[in-house]
Amino acid sequence: MRVLVTWPPHVPSYFNAGHHLPTFTIAAYLRGQGHEVAALDAGALNFSWKEFADFVFSGRFDAVVIVNEFDVVEGVRRAADYCRALCPEATLVTVGRLGYQNPGFFRTLDLDAIVAGGDYEAGVAEALRWAEAGERVGRGLPGVYVRQGGDWLDPSGPGRWLAVGEWVLPDVSEIPYAAYESLYRRDQNKFCGIPERRELVVPVARGCPVGCSFCDVPSMQGRGERRLGVEATVSYIRDAFAAHPFEYVAFYAPTFTLDKKWVAELCGALRAEPRPYAWKCATTLHHLSEGMIADMAAAGCVRISVGVETFEEAAAGELPRVKQLARARFEEVVGWCRTHRIELNCFVIVGLPGTTPVGTRRTMEIIRAAGARVRPTLYTPYEQMHGDMTERELSAFNRQTFVTPSEITLRGHTPADYLELIFGGDGYRTPSTERVPAALAFGRTR
Confidence of residue 48 (pLDDT cuts 50, 70, 90): very high
In this prediction, residues 359-370 reach a mean pLDDT of 96
| Same-domain pairing of 384 and 295 | yes
Distance (Å, whole) CA 142 – CA 160: 7
CB atoms within 10 A of CB 290: 14
In the chain, % of residues over pLDDT 70: 93
CATH of the domain at 253: 3.80.30.20
pLDDT of res. 256: 92
pLDDT of res. 430: 96
In a domain, 9, yes or no: yes
pLDDT of res. 269: 99
- Whole-Å CA distances, 186 to 193, 388, 427, 433: 10, 37, 11, 12
Specify the number of domains making up the chain. Answer: 2
In this prediction, residues 80-96 reach a mean pLDDT of 98
**What digits encode the pLDDT tens for the residues 121-179?**
999 999 999 999 987 787 889 999 999 988 999 999 999 999 999 999 999 999 999 99
**What digits encode the pLDDT tens for the residues 418-442?**
999 999 999 999 999 999 999 865 4
Tell me if residue 154 falls in helix, strand or coil.
coil
| Same-domain pairing of 412 and 355 | yes
In a domain, 24, yes or no: yes
- pLDDT over threshold 70, residue 49: yes
Q: Which domain holds residue 364?
A: 176-435
In this prediction, residues 352-370 reach a mean pLDDT of 95
pLDDT of res. 315: 76
| Same-domain pairing of 252 and 364 | yes
- pLDDT over threshold 70, residue 398: yes
Last residue of a domain, one of 107, 138, 153: 153
In a domain, 443, yes or no: no
pLDDT of res. 348: 95
In a domain, 101, yes or no: yes
Query: What is the residue-averaged pLDDT of the chain?
Result: 92
Asked if 351 contacts 418 with a C-beta cutoff of 8 angstroms, the reply is yes
pLDDT of res. 215: 65
pLDDT of res. 214: 62
| Same-domain pairing of 395 and 338 | yes
| Same-domain pairing of 221 and 125 | no
pLDDT of res. 442: 41
CA angle in degrees (0–180, nearest 5) for 204-238-3? 60
- pLDDT over threshold 60, residue 444: no
CATH of the domain at 99: 3.40.50.280
| Same-domain pairing of 291 and 423 | yes
pLDDT of res. 310: 92
- pTM score of the predicted model: 0.93
Please tell me which of 219-228, 255-264, 377-386 the model is most confident about, judged by mean pLDDT.
255-264
- pLDDT over threshold 80, residue 212: no
| Same-domain pairing of 263 and 381 | yes
Closest alpha carbon to 97 in 124, 117, 125, 74: 117
**What digits encode the pLDDT tens for the residues 230-275?**
999 999 999 999 999 999 999 999 889 999 999 999 999 999 999 9
Name the least confident of 182-186, 293-297, 316-320: 316-320
For residue 239, which amino acid is it? D
In a domain, 260, yes or no: yes
Sign of the dihedral through C-alpha 227, 230, 235, 236: positive
